[in-house]
Amino acid sequence: MISHRNDQGATRPRFTVLGRRWLLLGATLAWMLIPLECAWGTIIIHPPEENLRANAPPLASGYVTQDIVIESDTAWFGAELIISLDQPDGIYQDLVGSSIGQSPSPDHFSSFPTLEFDTYMSTGVLGEGIGSMGGAPDLTGHPGTPGPSDINGDGRVGLDDLHVLILNYGLFVDPGTHGDITGNGRVDAGDFGALESAWGETGSFDASAINKTWFDSTGAPGIFAIARITLAESAGGTWDLLVLADPEGGSNRRRTGGPVVDGVMLIPEPTCLIAWAMFALILLMHRSRSAAA
């Protein structure tokens, strides 16, 4: 398990607004400038089932290891992963990896063979520390009602909410909407501060669940293995991944997820989307014929 603490950067704020056009995102390890305009790039998330890794030996049988690999034509700067399993203790946590406090280094694999199959987050470069935060629910609202920092209303504070703030920064909006957490009628630095306070350092990353956000420190485009997940072969549940990038003028985002079946993180085939598209096409043709008649 990777640590989310960094003594050298612990006193730095995570969000700093520099004028109207730039946001300085300071994770616990690194600083990143995010331009606050809107232009789009491409993010591809490879299905984890296409990146399965044989893990026995050295890891005992009964586990499935898979990598989360992304491609981005612009610099990716953050990812949020949520894994919820139906039963506890389904996520492999290597004892050595838990004590390292960063993604494992290949130099240690010969001495600690099972370390290679630890569950960890990465910037795409093994042996490099990362800054991360939790994705805890926003408990500042009334019971059963998300608080104001949960901008998109999904019950937790995370990258989705940060994405809204980035896109709307500097805009005058109706109080309490579109990222105006403080309710002053504008999306500004105060809203980033409120989001940081609600986000906090909480969240889970243990043998039963993962709810974490981590940040890149290189700021480069390319192909990256950003996480390795080892699950019990009997594990079932769900997973959700959100990736944000900085495409030279804004934040690009891509989300995917699906069920966990027999320890494998699956992305469902879009059969329902195809069926809906065929239905819509048939309906359109029927209306065209009726109009012609």
Q: What is the pLDDT of residue 166?
A: 86
Phi, psi values for residue 46, rounded to 5°: -75, 140
Look up tokens 């500097």; give the residue: 170
Alpha helices in the chain, H assignment, sequence order? 95-100, 159-168, 189-199, 271-292
Q: What is the pLDDT of residue 284?
A: 65
Residues 6+ positions from 254 with CB-CB distance below 8 Å? 43, 44, 45, 70, 242, 243
Q: What is the pLDDT of residue 267?
A: 92
Q: What is the pLDDT of residue 258?
A: 95
For the chain, the domains span 41-136+200-292
Phi, psi values for residue 260, rounded to 5°: -105, 120
175 three-class SS: coil
Cα separation, 265 vs 13, whole angstroms: 34
pTM of the model: 0.76
Higher pLDDT, 124 or 35: 124
Residue 262 has pLDDT above 90, yes or no: yes
Domain 41-136+200-292: which CATH number of 1.25.10, 2.60.40, 3.30.1360, 1.10.3470: 2.60.40
Cα separation, 69 vs 51, whole angstroms: 8
Q: What is the pLDDT of residue 278?
A: 65
Signed CA dihedral, 225, 85, 208, 59: sign only: negative
Q: What is the pLDDT of residue 103?
A: 85
Q: What is the pLDDT of residue 40?
A: 52
Q: For 198-216, what is the mean pLDDT?
A: 85
Q: For 118-135, what is the mean pLDDT?
A: 84
Q: What is the pLDDT of residue 230?
A: 96
Look up tokens 């050295």; give the residue: 58
Residue 21 has pLDDT above 60, yes or no: no
Give the rounded percent of residues in the chain with a pLDDT score beyond 70: 74
Q: What is the pLDDT of residues 137-165, one digit of tens each?
A: 887 888 778 899 999 888 888 888 988 99
Residue 266 has pLDDT above 80, yes or no: yes
**Region of poorest pLDDT, from 173-177, 230-234, 246-250:** 246-250
